[in-house]
Chains A and B, each alone.
Chain A
């Protein structure tokens, strides 16, 4: 298992390098630069800024230097947050996104998995149709519609929660719910699909024939296999959740990483774009690795190789 993990980590290096290279050159292709503004910058001032932030060197030198800075984790200065580096931004905003993501994931699993299990075990009854129609609605409704509606109901009409911000524990409720409901819908459908397949398999029938209770047959025997599609979905979903969602963070004014991810591109802050992309890529790879390990643990048909 250790060799498997090490091998996978080794494979991550060329992938990250490729991602770095593509991102580096792609952002340079976008028109406009970090220093353009409504009021134009004087020629000699622009020259000085370009010089200081290293834009005057040949592109390949910049490519190498920025790469080295990322390898050494000595990140270049930002142009959209003067006096900070991407390390400051990530270390300040990632914990927020992580917390939001974990709450959302908890909500998604807590609602999604039971809904999927019930739907599958009572296929084609109202216990199946009701959660599945709700799930379909959840998938179709984007977060930027659900978010403001929740804020209106709970924040303004009922005044139970705040409508935006990230100061008190109450502030966590709405963004987590908005993000969580969306993923809960996916998870419910995936769980149902996985469970349906497993519930009709021989070993579940054997379990039932041997007198296992319905609960035991479904939850102990079938769920372990039925949840596998959810597990493979969880990897990228978790990475997506913990790196933040631009939409939810904007609607609820959450100081997370997702906003930086998008605003860096809008502001043409090349260092911040590169650092956040690399951070996100590493997280996805890490999450996928965790999922693979989990899958082998859960699925006796798989072996490390």
Chain B
């Protein structure tokens, strides 16, 4: 059947498919009792979860869809706040203190329990931190913990005595972290599941803490979150139900959450339209303007903590000149791009760090300035684009990336009079090319794990693992280092501001837009607030039948 998927045909078909849900939303036959209404009465939250997560082990999972499930199943010292991503919500820790933001002590609740009834103590956290850092586990999440003193050395095998790592249990219900430096936003950092506890007897029974493909999450998931695993059928559903042993079980209002791994956005749209979902994670791009313009009651478009950008390979001779890089950035009309192509309430990006981080106002690029761009290009030795080599723009195959790339090409051609080729590759091939620096200009995107500029700015540290631009700037590195050693939150952010200024001035990357999350949610779901990093605390959600 695959041979029917020729390019032209699939495009035509997609157009047809894309229109279908719209037609369906026009139809009056909506009043019959739906699956969703029944689920609402039963307290079951039907949640569209993009695709099948490779794992729901909080220490091994790196996928967003896996994280959405672990947020229900395990709880860290600090939990996700229901409304504000900047605020710490007490989780297993009931209170905490710190010295110079470097040594942090957390007081654990004595009534915290595992989903099998076992008490949860500081030793469980110690075991879990150790597990993530064990070199033999090979967890991709280990680096989140590198801010603990000596954690990186332990994870890289440079030291083998775990007691040298800056974490210790002070009795059963207190745990102390010694960090590599001051981290005033530490409580926000440890909301990430890599910091969450796992149940040691369960892990040990399934092959020990260093087994990378341990199947404990499949057979016998013991967690400490507001929910516990009920059923997991690959590609069908991950169902979680209330955990009676959860310390705050009274607050939990929903009985079950069914995470449905629907990876096709058109299917997800149809499933939502047929009344079988409370939450639709993604809306097919062609449908977004239609829903928004027609006042669809379910759709929401909210800023998201992420940036879509182009990376420039500064090892390419033509791109080694910062005037060229700057000119490429200046000739992009981001407003027009967002308005005409994306149409989903994204924000044109004039900074690399997204907006909305508390206390941080990022510096801004000049924006669209064709004259300045032409001037810089001429100064660099390419008057009216003359003599500029033919570069290519690499992106992973997707209709949206392609449309953006085509428009950017058009802008470069009309402002700078240069020709750039489009090159699209399948995802893994694309990653390989980008990682080997086998590109001129490459699409990229970055989503913040927590709302702090360092998660974005640390990308471009000289020689950093994800810095595929080849750009290295000692000035930039030193500002970031100063920031990391600064305990005063305001001064810290001021150094980050300086660093970002350097980044924008040098332009090894061209920010295009700040992401938005476009999704649809049924009015029966109460307690769902816009959150910049889209992390949820399901215990505060409620399902209430709509009053007729």
Contact = CB atoms under 8 A, between A and B. Distances in A.
B17 interface: yes
Interface stretch (A147-155, A194-202, A205-213, A284-292): A147-155
B270 A83 contact: no
Contacts of A33: 428, 432
Interface string A146-173: 0011011001111100111111000000
A82 B60 contact: yes
Interface in B60-75: 60, 62
A52 interface: yes
Interface string A246-270: 1100111101100110000011100
Given A52-B138, A93-B234, A250-B264, A162 B274 contact: yes
B267 interface: yes
B515 to A, nearest CB: 13
Contacts of A253: 235, 260, 262, 264, 267, 271
Contact of A37 (B57, B62, B234, B445): B62
Contact of A40 (B4, B5, B274, B465): B465
Interface residues of A, number: 64
A39 interface: yes
A156 B24 contact: yes
Contacts of A88: 234
B54 interface: yes
Contacts of A44: 135, 155-157
Contacts of B271: 163-165, 253
B341 interface: no
B77 to A, nearest CB: 24
A49 B235 contact: no
B131 interface: no
Interface string A66-97: 00000000000111111110001100110000
B2 A246 contact: yes
Contacts of B262: 164, 253
Contacts, number: 181
B97 interface: no
B13 A144 contact: yes
A36 B445 CA distance: 15
A142 interface: yes
A245 B1 CA distance: 8
Contacts of A77: 213
B170 interface: no
Between A37, A78, A149, the greatest number of chain B beta carbons within 10 A of the residue's beta carbon is seen for A37
A31 interface: yes
SS class, residues of chain A in contact with chain B: loop
A289 to B, nearest CB: 24
A158 B138 CA distance: 52
A259 B435 CA distance: 28
Interface in B185-238: 212-218, 233-236
Given A33-B428, A40-B465, A266-B428, A155 B236 contact: no
Interface in B315-344: none
B304 to A, nearest CB: 15
B267 A250 contact: yes
A64 to B, nearest CB: 21
Interface residues of B, number: 67
B27 interface: yes
A141 to B, nearest CB: 9
B428 A36 contact: yes
B218 A84 contact: yes
Nearest to A144: B13
A262 B149 CA distance: 44
B290 interface: no
Given A82-B54, A84-B234, A255-B236, A32 B431 contact: yes
A243 to B, nearest CB: 12
A41 B140 contact: yes
A148 B262 CA distance: 15
Contacts of B5: 142, 144, 247
Given A84-B218, A156-B270, A142 B13 contact: yes
Contacts of A149: 16, 20
Contacts of B62: 37, 39
Given A82-B54, A246-B2, A251 B264 contact: yes
A299 B264 CA distance: 46
Contact of B20 (A31, A142, A152, A252): A152
Given A144-B5, A152-B20, 5 more contacts: A30-B428, A31-B429, A145-B16, A145-B17, A151-B20
